[in-house]
């Protein structure tokens, strides 16, 4: 059967795939449009499975807020290159995923990806697999947080790689944004000393004690040295103890106190943090693509 340009055009519009891929699919299906679509979907699933083991350490962080700022979601979706993360399709997909998290509060990533990307449409997982087939890169919905408050949420995005969501007990948009910007820049571990994990603090104390003992000073002096260094350490890693980035003469805690406000919690996502990136020789990578 002759494959016409109109048939190729229709298949491209329905699948979003390239012209040559559509033409080949129609030829293999002897012009049967529905069979070509089904075969391309199966091929897309195979491609998605093949690419699932490839490192995806680029991507986007997106934050969604309800109109009253009482509900919020922060999401990270990964891909392999910043070229793909800057594309409109990837941006639209990540934004839609964040909106779905905000609307339906899924229990985990597995539950999220089983949900429709848009009401009445394909699931997030189906859409993800189709995007992999179309774009040619591994794409992963990595993580999310969905939270609510009696106070107010605010956010700050530093480009597309760092996103910060802040929960404050008062609705002060400017203050929340300033604090979120500070968190993006200074990366505190938690809000205050009470939230510092015990294991984290004990590990730091062990290091400080070992360093202090090398001084050869008496135990009574060492104990005071440790107390001072622990206080300094806690100030460095807690939000309220850090010098405010826009005015280092005051701490964030002092800034909040002057505004009669408190930060209850925050979430800071940075694209690819904790993902081990595979180092490859560029020349070898090019040759591998040629040979493949």
Residue 220: the pLDDT is: 75
Of 113, 131, 148, which closes a domain? Answer: 148
Residue 20: the pLDDT is: 76
pLDDT along the chain (292 residues), means of 10: 86 70 84 81 53 75 97 96 92 97 96 94 91 85 97 95 97 96 96 90 83 75 81 93 96 97 97 75 55 54
C-alpha–C-alpha distance, residues 35 and 32, integer Å = 5
Task: Give the up-direction half-sphere exposure of residue 108: CA atoms within 13 A in the CB hemisphere.
Answer: 1
Q: Which residues constitute the domain of residue 113? A: 52-148
Q: Is residue 64 part of a domain?
A: yes
Residue 44: the pLDDT is: 59
Our count of domains for the chain comes to 2
Residue 291: the pLDDT is: 60
CATH number at residue 23: 1.10.8.10
- Residue 26 and residue 88 in one domain: no
Q: Is residue 284 part of a domain?
A: no
Q: Is residue 264 part of a domain?
A: no
């Amino acid at each position: 059967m002759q494959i016409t340009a109109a048939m190729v055009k229709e298949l491209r519009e329905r699948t979003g795939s390239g012209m040559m891929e559509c033409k080949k699919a129609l030829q293999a299906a002897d012009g049967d449009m529905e069979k070509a679509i089904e075969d391309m979907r199966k091929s897309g699933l195979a491609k998605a499975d093949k690419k699932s083991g490839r490192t995806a350490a680029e991507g986007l962080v997106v934050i969604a807020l309800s109109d009253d700022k009482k509900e919020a979601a922060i999401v990270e979706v990964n891909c392999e290159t910043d070229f793909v993360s800057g594309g409109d399709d990837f941006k639209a997909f990540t934004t839609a995923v964040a909106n779905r998290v905000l609307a339906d509060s899924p229990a985990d990533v597995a539950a999220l990806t089983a949900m429709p990307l848009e009401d009445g449409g394909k699931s997030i997982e189906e859409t993800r697999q189709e995007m992999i087939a179309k774009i040619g890169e591994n794409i992963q919905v990595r993580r999310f947080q969905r939270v609510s408050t009696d106070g107010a949420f605010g956010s700050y995005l530093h480009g597309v790689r760092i996103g910060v969501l802040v929960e404050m007990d008062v609705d002060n948009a400017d203050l929340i944004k300033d604090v979120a910007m500070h968190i993006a820049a200074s990366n505190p571990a938690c809000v205050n000393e009470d939230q510092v994990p015990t294991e984290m603090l004990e590990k730091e104390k062990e290091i400080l004690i070992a360093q202090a003992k090398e001084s050869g000073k008496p135990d009574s002096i060492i104990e005071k040295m440790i107390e001072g260094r622990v206080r300094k350490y806690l100030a460095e890693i807690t939000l309220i103890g850090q010098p405010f980035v826009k005015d280092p003469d005051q701490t964030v805690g002092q800034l909040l106190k002057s505004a009669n406000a408190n930060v209850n919690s925050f979430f800071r996502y940075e694209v690819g943090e904790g993902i081990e990136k595979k180092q490859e020789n560029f020349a070898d990578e090019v040759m591998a693509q040629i040979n493949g």
